[in-house]
Amino acid sequence: MDPAGVKMLLYTRLAPPKEPKRRSRAGCTFCKEKKKKCDEGRPQCSRCVEHGATCIYEALRPRRRRKASLATSSSSTISSNDSHRLSLSRRLSDFGYDSDSASPPESTEVDYMFSPPDLHQSTYWNAPSPTPSHPLISPTESLFTLPDLSHAEELTEDAEDGGVAESWTTYTAVTTVSRPRPYYPDLAMIAPCPVTSPLFEFHSPAFSEFTDRPNRRALVDHFCNILSHLIVFREESGNPFQQLVLPLTRQSSPVLNAIFALASAHLEYRGIQNEEHSLFFHNQAIQGLGRLIEQSAKSNRNEILATIMLLIYYEVLVQRGRSNLVDGHLKGALTIMCTTPEPSDSTSIFLERAFRFYDVIAALSNGRAPLSAAPTAGCLMPFPPLGAPIASPLSNVDTLLGMATTLWPIIHRLSSIVTLKSDLQAAIWSNASASKIAVLRTELEATTQAIEAALSRWQPQLPPGFAPDEEVDQKTNKTDKVHSTHLSHGSKIDVMSPTVAERSRLHSIWHNALAYRHSAFVYLYRSVHGYRRSHRAVQEHTHRSLLHCAATVKHEGPMGALLWPLFVAACEAVTENDRGLAEQAFEKVKKRQGMRNIERAWEIVREVWERADRVESVAGAGAGAGAGVDRGAKEQEKLGDMETGEDLWRQVSREMGVSVVFG
């Protein structure tokens, strides 16, 4: 063909612009994990349909742009207050877990009833000789410092859209988040808040720095705002469980699981069910504790002790049959304290104080000697919350022992007398040598006389500026106003005088300490000396203890440590008046605390009353008819030798199949 004859038309057509690739932020979690583009089909995208995955769309969070460093110059237009609030809000968004960057694996069904490892066979439970007392340090030291946000790297859009991914590590049945150490939120900011949410300054959802699961955040909220306030005496500058124990969760999942277990169990007893059962968290905490102990050289002593003490609180609250787990945990805590250096911080001091409390209470509950040595006189000083002022109306109040700090060494020695009495009885029954029996009897008599004299002399050490304005009248059961001359130090008292609310709280703590004193007398006379229930000394101290218990709940102060004196006195109550006081106090304590051991203790007290009344009625009938004397003796032997043998309440609890720790 002739090229000249070809007519050609040349032209240029502009191609349509190529649509830029944009990463969707509204895609499903499955596509984000695979780093694939999601067509955002509803209810399921095509990729999830193809792979048979569950298609989940999360709430779309506002996009963060690149921002300048928070370290602004003096010419910045942002005020210092605004900068402070901004830095607080960024702690969770920039240094916490970003739900848009990585999605947690889907929750799977877990068998909550699997058994925890048998730690009783490990060296964890082999306690060495008792640990000596540790000196206290200044509780006002700051244990944590805020991270320097001015040098933190800013997250870019790509990082926000999926470039930054957290690594998820699965241990057995529990899934935890593994973060680089600098990314842990500083929990010291939540410490000083005694009433409201520790994260009140931050954006919702609250407690998101602990976990991304709403049900677990609710458990942290319950622990901080409800449970932690029920088990301490003093928190004018903050709650010690929030100040000292909660920060340990940033490094240790066993501590956090123990908190979950305790809070969940407390809610379950109140009829509130969580998505995950408390037993599941308990087993996870036990397994994590075992791993911490295996690597004890690399583990923090406080993390191990905190996990153990929280598990003790859990076991006391749950009360599953005649379990000896509390004793096992106490042996483990003693082992840790003896094999690691002495405490040098407030957290260690606080955890050891919690151990001392439960060591004595468990000994009194189970009829054995404490595991640790008795503290020397003046060794235990009142432990305040962090930041508490030195000149405070609560200066003589201990966080866990109240005004009974100086009484605790006496109670410690009292709890060990039962074993000394058992040794004497065993020597007599086994026909031991006369010299051995004489030595044991002399030791028992000398110890009991010393304890009785110490209890007679002891009085609570009142804080400066506080004098009780009431005395309990044991005849009228009323509290009479009295004019005290306890005030001193001149004008300083006006500065340190407690407010109306503080006075009510102090009166409750004061009555609590006196209830311990009188119940200690009852325990000494009944369980050690073997006095009859109707003995004048027994009934006098029983009545006075119940009056102080009733006054404690009347002032609506702390009731977390009231169960032991209330139970000991209530078991020996004979008159309708005393039993009415006991019932009133039990009802208010049970309603306030909401714990299973209080309900179990009340059930035991009522059974003790029923059996004691039955024995008295049978004995009275036998006294009226000569032929009925033998029948009354046999009935008393059948119901238990209440006067010279085992305590009736111990026999009742054994037959009921429960063991109650009165803490």
**Nearest Cα to 386, choosing from 237, 177, 577?**
237
Q: For the segment 403-434, what is each residue's pLDDT rounded down to a tens digit?
A: 999 999 999 999 999 889 989 989 999 988 99
Of 81-85, 370-374, 540-544, the range with the lowest mean pLDDT is: 81-85
The region, left, alpha or beta by phi > 0 then psi within -120 to 50, assigned to residue 594 is left
What DSSP designation does 106 have?
P
**Nearest Cα to 282, choosing from 309, 321, 250, 254?**
254
Length in residues, the chain: 663
Q: Strands of 466-585 (E only): list them.
A: 470-472, 479-481
Q: Quick check: 537 and 520 in contact, CB under 8 A?
A: no
Query: How confident is the model at residue 578, as a pLDDT?
Result: 97
The Cα–Cα gap between 263 and 270 comes to 11
Q: For the segment 627-654, what is each residue's pLDDT rounded down to a tens digit?
A: 444 444 444 444 444 444 578 999 999 9
- Determine the CATH number of domain 23-59+99-106+147-163: 4.10.240.10
Please list, residue by residue across 311-349, b when 16 or more beta carbons sit within 10 angstroms of its beta carbon and e when fewer do.
bbbbbbbbbeeeeebbbbbbbbbbbbbeebeebeebbbb
Query: How confident is the model at residue 14, as a pLDDT?
Result: 60
Structure tokens at 174: 């529990």
Of 231-235, 512-516, 636-640, 647-651, the range with the lowest mean pLDDT is: 636-640
For residues 412 and 497, the model is more confident at 412
Of 172-181, 244-253, 438-447, the range with the lowest mean pLDDT is: 172-181
Q: What are the two backbone dihedrals, phi and then psi, of residue 471, each rounded to the nearest 5 degrees?
A: -130, 145
Residues forming beta bridges with residue 479, ordered by sequence position = 472
Q: For the segment 460-488, what is each residue's pLDDT rounded down to a tens digit?
A: 988 887 888 665 544 444 543 433 333 33
- Name the band, by pLDDT with cuts 50, 70 and 90, for residue 155: very low
Query: How confident is the model at residue 471, as a pLDDT?
Result: 58
Query: How confident is the model at residue 326, as a pLDDT?
Result: 93
- Radius of gyration over alpha carbons of the chain, in Å? 32
The Cα–Cα gap between 405 and 392 comes to 17
Structure tokens at 10: 């040349």
Query: How confident is the model at residue 49, as a pLDDT?
Result: 85
CB-based burial label for 75 (10 Å; 0-12, 13-18, 19+)? exposed
**pLDDT above 90 (res 67):** no
- Name the band, by pLDDT with cuts 50, 70 and 90, for residue 496: low
**Nearest Cα to 355, choosing from 663, 639, 17?**
663
Mean pLDDT of 172-195: 33
**Nearest Cα to 255, choosing from 310, 327, 175, 313?**
310
Residues whose CB falls within 8 Å of the CB of residue 279, separated by 6 or more in sequence, listed in order: 112, 113, 261
**pLDDT above 90 (res 121):** no
Query: How confident is the model at residue 162, as a pLDDT?
Result: 36
Mean pLDDT of 138-159: 32
Query: How confident is the model at residue 51, as a pLDDT?
Result: 84
For residues 36 and 163, the model is more confident at 36
**pLDDT above 70 (res 16):** no
In the three-class reduction of DSSP (H, G, I as helix; E, B as strand; rest coil), residue 398 is classed as: strand
Mean pLDDT of 44-63: 80
Query: How confident is the model at residue 463, as a pLDDT?
Result: 83
- Name the band, by pLDDT with cuts 50, 70 and 90, for residue 20: low
Query: How confident is the model at residue 298, as a pLDDT?
Result: 61
**pLDDT above 80 (res 551):** yes
43: cis peptide before it, omega within 30°?
yes
Q: For the segment 267-277, what is each residue's pLDDT rounded down to a tens digit?
A: 999 999 988 99
The angle subtended at Cα 188 by Cα 183 and Cα 193, nearest 5°, is 135
Of 174-183, 391-400, 619-628, the range with the lowest mean pLDDT is: 174-183
Residue with tokens 């460093």: 69
The region, left, alpha or beta by phi > 0 then psi within -120 to 50, assigned to residue 164 is beta
- Name the band, by pLDDT with cuts 50, 70 and 90, for residue 154: very low
The Cα–Cα gap between 564 and 67 comes to 59
The Cα–Cα gap between 507 and 557 comes to 8
Residues forming beta bridges with residue 175, ordered by sequence position = 170
Query: How confident is the model at residue 469, as a pLDDT?
Result: 67
Query: How confident is the model at residue 286, as a pLDDT?
Result: 95
Q: Quick check: 400 and 353 in contact, CB under 8 A?
A: yes
Query: How confident is the model at residue 481, as a pLDDT?
Result: 41
**pLDDT above 50 (res 216):** yes
Domain boundaries, the chain: 23-59+99-106+147-163, 166-382
Taking the CA atoms of residue 394, residue 399, residue 401 and residue 402 in that order, the dihedral angle to the nearest 10 degrees is 20
Mean of per-residue pLDDT scores for the chain:
74
For residues 575 and 90, the model is more confident at 575
- Name the band, by pLDDT with cuts 50, 70 and 90, for residue 122: very low
Q: How many CA atoms lie within 13 A of 243 on its CB side?
A: 31
The Cα–Cα gap between 119 and 332 comes to 10
**pLDDT above 70 (res 614):** yes
**Nearest Cα to 412, choosing from 435, 379, 389?**
379
Query: How confident is the model at residue 661, as a pLDDT?
Result: 92
**pLDDT above 90 (res 225):** yes
In the three-class reduction of DSSP (H, G, I as helix; E, B as strand; rest coil), residue 556 is classed as: coil
